[in-house]
Amino acid sequence: MLSHHDRQELEKIERWFELTEPALAARLRSGKPARPPLLRSAVVLTLDVIAGLLMLLGMVLNSPALLLTGMITVTTAVIVHLSRFGRD
């Protein structure tokens, strides 16, 4: 439980946010997460598709170079999925 002083300080911060950043305050109040940027979605989807195609092509053509390239692309796609790329 917060002390009276802590609650007052939090109310001051809330009022400051509402005055300086009304859009941010409204978004925080609604509790809805922001949609990912279109660029991030496009990059992630493109990497996923390319990685899958390269690995499939490498297996079908029995090409170690294509398979290795596909594995590297899959690794890159995983890193992009897990990173904060394109987020705020």
pLDDT tens string 12-53: 988 898 899 888 888 788 877 767 678 878 888 888 999 999
Residue among 56, 34, 37 at smallest CA distance from 45: 37
Residue 55, C-beta contacts closer than 8 angstroms, at least 6 positions apart: 66, 67, 70, 71, 74
Global pTM?
Answer: 0.54
Q: Which amino acid is present at 57?
A: L
- As a whole number of angstroms, the distance between CA 78 and CA 11 comes to 41
45-80 pLDDT per residue, tens? 888 999 999 999 999 999 999 999 999 999 988 888
